[in-house]
Amino acid sequence: MAVVGAGVIGILIARELIAAEPGASVTVLDRELIAGGATRRSAGLHFPRGASPAVRAMAAESARYWADLAEARPELPVHRLPMTVIASRDAESALREAYLPEADLRPAGRLPRQLTALPEGSAAWTGEGCQYADVPALTQSLAAGLRSRVRFLEGVGVTGVVPGPAGVELTLGSGETLTAARAVLAPGPWTAHPAWRELLAPLGIRVKKIVALHLELPPSADDGAIVFHDEDAFLLPYRHRGHWLFSYTCREWDVDPDSVDPEVSAAHRAEAVAVLRRYAPGLADRCVSGRVFCDAYNPAGGPLVRPLTGEGTLLFAGAAGGSGYRLAPAIAAETVRLLTKRPAGRPPSTADLSRNQGPS
């Protein structure tokens, strides 16, 4: 089997393939290093919510996976966080529908210290089940644990993909050809790459710019995530880097990941600061830098895991709309189910996989 793309989704697919079929031969390819691309710039926030029943089910499945993994391997950079959700006062019923029951949303007794006051008509709730990860480091660590059982081809691009009833032929930029019985494309925002552009065109995937600002303010040990539900924005204490991150919803669509400007523009900063000033005007002047990248979105909402051929030998997995880390375990589980023709159900447990792999 071949997995094209070594971001967090591709690595989890490889990990779950080995768990489902321990004797399988799995090759992971990426034209960059492992955890490059969108994974390298991921905020890594996981909060227990979803815009639809399907996404909520994926969020719940993924939350269990990450919790099991963190328990089995406490050295991994996965960190639990308190969570405060800010929304309009009359949005409580909508919040309780969007957030999982285990979030246990309840009115906040006090505001986080970063928020001086709430706009009129707004309210705050606290909840459970929030965590964040250093996604590049996590992905690289998981890949390192697979090295003895998975073949990695880093810095090797795929220039052609030819699916057929007997398998998938991948032409590589190195001049070689790889033939796999089954293959999955997990290219992150590179959905328009010439090698698979025509194969993915019927899915209607769009690529949107994602912007997050860095606030030069050291977080404390008890600071938590602050989610601005109505604005689809959040403040995250980035403890492993020593600053805060503020992610807001940028509306620039149909961008090219190979040519997107990585700099934070004055317009980006102005948009983000306008949102932040509503809740925490004292933090606005701390927004002096940031990160710009992009991700693939499914216009129908939620990630896509789809066969690209009638024979089912080639699949696409992704278009998670900025939630690649948050939903990666569920995406990987569904991908493996389709690749291995297994019935729907709970995937092999992380604990089982950890035992198979030893302490790596």
21 and 265 Cβ atoms separated by less than 8 Å: no
End residue of a domain, out of 274, 297, 320: 297
Residues counted in the chain: 360
Residue among 248, 294, 251 at smallest CA distance from 275: 248
| 73 and 3 in a common domain | yes
**Residues 107, 22 share a domain:** no
218 and 288, same domain (yes or no): yes
Whether residues 158 and 180 share a domain: the answer is yes
C-alpha–C-alpha distance, residues 36 and 262, integer Å: 14
Same domain, 142 and 27: yes
Tokens encoding 54: 């399907």
Q: Are residues 264 and 226 in the same domain?
A: yes
Q: Where in the sequence is the domain holding 342, given as residue range(s)?
A: 1-77+134-204+299-360
CATH of the domain at 58: 3.50.50.60
Q: Give which of 311, 314, 349, 357 is closest to 160, Cα–Cα.
A: 314
Residues paired with 170 in a beta bridge: 161, 178
The domain spanning residue 259 has which CATH number? 3.30.9.10
Total domain count, the chain: 2
Check: CB of residue 277 under 8 Å from CB of residue 127: no
Tens digit of pLDDT at every position of the chain (360 positions): 999 999 999 999 999 999 999 999 999 999 999 999 999 999 999 999 999 999 999 999 999 999 999 999 999 999 999 999 999 999 999 999 999 999 999 999 999 999 988 999 999 999 999 999 999 999 999 999 999 999 999 999 999 999 988 899 999 999 999 999 999 999 999 999 999 999 999 999 999 999 999 999 999 999 999 999 999 999 999 999 999 999 999 999 999 999 999 999 999 999 999 999 999 998 988 998 999 999 999 999 999 999 999 889 999 999 999 999 999 999 999 999 999 885 554 444 333 333 233 332
Do 232 and 281 belong to one domain? yes
Stretch (H or E) spanning 207:
strand 206-215
